[in-house]
Amino acid sequence: MAKAAQQTPQLLMPKATSIWLIENTALTFRQIADFTGITEIEVEALANEEIGKGIVGRDPIEHGEITKSELERCEADPLASLKMAKRDLPCAKIRSKGPRYTPVSKRGDKPDAIAYIIKHNPEISDAQICKLVGTTKPTIASIRDRSHPNSSNLRPRHPAELGLCTYSEFEKAYNKGLKAAGKDPEAIKAEREAEIQKGLDAPQENEPSKGSSAGFDFSNFLPEDSNSENS
């Protein structure tokens, strides 16, 4: 009888673990990204406090996810990859359904992110917005029909800039929405880039020609004697 495939161990809180490693070790962003399973760009954003400001660091040594000697080995060799410590406990199951967890400090930004998507990316479905932002459909509906309690103070802002999702996740949801609407994402992207380039290349209206003095009255700058001679 064939043996069941072993499940690859996964961290319970990858971003919190990343923050701890950033603050307490000399590991490179690449090493931390490889160990935690998040992207190197996200690790850098966590280090710069562009995202994850409400997340408290989680010590992987204390929780038996890695050994101190393994950390020291990889700190000494930037090209080495961290290996998780062997544990007898079963691997944590990753929740695949329901809204994502959002730090308390970021929860007040959700309405702004929803407003941005509704305004600039109507192709993204409500179900996709729920996954991106970690919200519910009734909240989306209240922002759309302006019945949300904070409607008058909403400032549409990109969810990735607020740290509620990554740019790659947003792009994926956007492309999925375009495909569902029967549109080609690549064609739409090329069309938008062409419009931007056209705007950059177009001459500015009402811009006077170099050396031209048409339409400007210089009479106020002439000497008084000159004016009297012409009178």
pLDDT tens-digit map of 77-128? 999 999 988 765 454 444 444 455 555 445 678 899 999 999 998 999 998 9
Res 202 pLDDT > 80: no
Alpha helices in 57-184 (DSSP H): 68-76, 110-120, 126-129, 137-144, 167-180
Q: Are 58 and 141 contained in the same domain?
A: no
The verdict on 129 and 182 lying in the same domain is: yes
Q: For residue 154, tell me if it sits in a domain.
A: yes
Q: Are residues 56 and 111 in the same domain?
A: no
44, 127: one domain: no
Burial profile 43-54: b = 16 or more Cβ within 10 angstroms, e = fewer: bebbbeeebbee
Q: Which two tokens stand for residue 89?
A: 């406990």
Model confidence at 71: pLDDT above 80: yes
d(CA 166, CA 178): 19
Q: Pick the residue with more confidence: 212 or 33?
A: 33
DSSP category for residue 121: -
In total, how many domains does the chain have?
2
User: Residue 99: inside a domain, yes or no?
Assistant: no
Query: For residue 41, what are the domain limits?
Result: 14-76
Domain membership of residue 93 (yes or no) is no
- Angstrom distance (rounded) from CA 181 to CA 183: 6
Measured in degrees and rounded to the nearest 5, phi and psi for residue 183 equal: -110, 150
Contact between 13 and 57 (Cβ < 8 Å): no
120 and 63 fall within a common domain: no
**76: its two tokens:** 């000494």
Question: Quick one: what percent of the chain has pLDDT higher than 70?
Answer: 72
Across the chain, mean pLDDT equals 78
